[in-house]
Amino acid sequence: MALVHTVLHAIATHPPAREALRCGDTGTSFGALARTSLRWASLLSSLHGVVPGDRVALLAEPGAAFVAALLAVWRTRSAALVLTPLHPPSERERLLDDADVRVLIATPALADEARRCAGERIVVVPEGDPWDAPGGGVVASSPADAGAEVALPRLDDIALLVYTSGTTSRPKGVVLRHRHVAAQCSAIARAWRLGPDDTLVHALPLHHVHGLIIALLCTLTAGGRVVALPRFDPAAVVAAAAEGTVFMGVPTMYARLVEHLERLPADAVARASAALAALRLCTSGSAALPVTIGERWRLLAGRYPVERFGMTELGVALSNRVDGHTVPGSVGWPLPGVRIRVVDDHGAAADEGELQVCGATVFEGYWRQPRATDEAFTVDDGARWFRTGDTVRLRDDGCVQVLGRTSVDILKSAGYKISAPAIEEAIRRHPDVVDAAVVGVADETYGQVVAAAVVARAGTPLTSDGLLAFLADELAPYQRPRIVRLVAELPRNAMGKVVKPTLARMLAADWPA
């Protein structure tokens, strides 16, 4: 698949009058996004000295200002780091330090939040939201009044740094160049037939590849329209479905939607079902979709969700088909241009083993972590294969079923990847804690919930509630343990290593089935 253009180029060349985004009653055209981003890019480079190769962070609620700011960063040929207000300031600051960010863009509503983590960095709050200018949400601006030279990004420039959790406590910045983002958008758009007639109902967080690339950028690149909801809310998704054609969600969202629909009175459920059945495509990913949830969704919305497999490092690699050929409990077949293989512990081809991926959509390395990068790839037959760390089964028809993660230290809760060692480290920062071990406990709605066994310092008054109050300043809500058990000691093997499967069974007893 030859790639010529960046996502920015695609978005900036769609018919300027066509609506790209809708937030509540406010619509924003492709033209408005292109012009506002040009003006903001000029501000970044002339006033704040942003130069090609820099990293610029964004803290913005979903909407036109977010997209305009992202495109503005790309017009300066710098890389964007999307932050979330869900993270406490301390975590945001760690990411800003790691990415070596000097300039942070924030929307007015999040400017104070941005200053809480900015330290000495410049916080830019661009004036003139793309929707508040006269003339249908178009900010008057043109290359002539831009005031500074703004170049277009090249395919090899870094577009995004997206942080993901690993098996150590330190998050890894996945370096995505424009050519990776463009290849991901193009493969997904082909597989799912996204185009200008599509309207995506968007309720995903923007600091991960699912919400940012797979949902938002893919749709806009294909010329489609995005209805951006401020947050996930089942009733709002159902209401927005009436004007949508596509919905993309994590399994927890499907679980919440199904629970919401099943509680509605009969006439309301019939109306909601009709709106959802009219969507041409509903996809599920980021974690395994329980077949029970998928089937309940099928009863309510007419079709089983199209389940697909993705990773921050590569976008979407595999998907069930959009023509109705889905295999429940599987993630389907490789996307166009994506090569996969399944290998056993010795690297030999197998029906069951680790999934490895190569192709134009796959990243090249982690930000300033050469060792982690080396460990993530294996070179074979002249190709560089990315080791996903997922154990899968390859069926005779080429369809792939995910069996689980290779490491017990990687958890998935509500679609978020969580590193057990990172949570353990946060818990150990409490002065009354001697030791802690974190595992995932199975849950139908969340996939896994975070569970911690904690050893308190003798003679201290540590309680679970006290620890959770402390963790509120250390971890995002989705990273905080839902189960905390104070124990005298952790279960260890003869080598002194914590036996996590035993611990998981122990802590599962504390979780309602």
Residues 190-209 that bind ligand AMP (CB under 6 A): 209
Asked if 163 interacts with ligand MCA (CB under 6 A), we say no
How many residues of this chain bind ligand AMP (CB under 6 A)? 19
Q: Between residues 46 and 407, which has the closer beta carbon with respect to ligand AMP?
A: 407
Asked if 285 interacts with ligand MCA (CB under 6 A), we say yes
Asked if 202 interacts with ligand MCA (CB under 6 A), we say no
Q: Which residue from 319, 448, 330, 309 is spatially nearest to 389, judged by alpha carbons?
A: 309
Asked if 171 interacts with ligand AMP (CB under 6 A), we say no
Tell me the per-residue interface mask from 168 to 187 with ligand MCA, x by CB under 6 A, - otherwise: --------------------
Contacting range for ligand AMP; rule: CB under 6 A; set: 9-17, 134-142, 191-199, 280-288: 280-288
Orientation angle between helical segments 251-263 and 291-301, nearest 10 degrees: 50
Residues 296-355 that bind ligand AMP (CB under 6 A): 307-312, 331
- The single-letter code of the amino acid at 357 is V
Asked if 312 interacts with ligand MCA (CB under 6 A), we say yes
Residues 404-423 that bind ligand MCA (CB under 6 A): 413-416
**Angle 305-214-63 (CA atoms, 0-180°, nearest 5)?**
110
CB of 105 to ligand MCA, least distance (A): 22
How many residues of this chain bind ligand MCA (CB under 6 A)? 24
Tell me the per-residue interface mask from 123 to 162 with ligand AMP, x by CB under 6 A, - otherwise: ----------------------------------------
**Angle 270-274-276 (CA atoms, 0-180°, nearest 5)?**
115
Q: Which residue from 253, 255, 200 is spatially nearest to 222, judged by alpha carbons?
A: 200
Each as own residue / partner, the long-range contacts of residues 50-53 (CB below 8 Å, 24 or more positions apart, any chain) are 50/76, 50/78, 50/102, 50/103, 51/76, 51/77, 51/78, 52/76, 52/77, 52/78, 52/151, 52/157, 53/77, 53/78, 53/79, 53/157, 53/158
Asked if 204 interacts with ligand MCA (CB under 6 A), we say yes
Q: Between residues 23 and 253, which has the closer beta carbon with respect to ligand AMP?
A: 253
- 381, with CB counted inside 10 A (0-12, 13-18, 19+), is exposed
Tokens of 437: 């071990």
Asked if 252 interacts with ligand MCA (CB under 6 A), we say yes
Q: What is the largest CA-CA distance in the chain?
A: 72
Distance CA 116, CA 484 (A): 29
Select the residue whose beta carbon is closest to ligand AMP and give its number: 417
Contacting range for ligand MCA; rule: CB under 6 A; set: 15-23, 137-145, 309-317, 389-397: 309-317
Residues 466-495 that bind ligand MCA (CB under 6 A): 477-478, 482
Select the residue whose beta carbon is closest to ligand MCA and give its number: 310
Contacting range for ligand MCA; rule: CB under 6 A; set: 31-39, 135-143, 246-254, 463-471: 246-254
Phi, psi of 438 (to 5 degrees): -120, 135
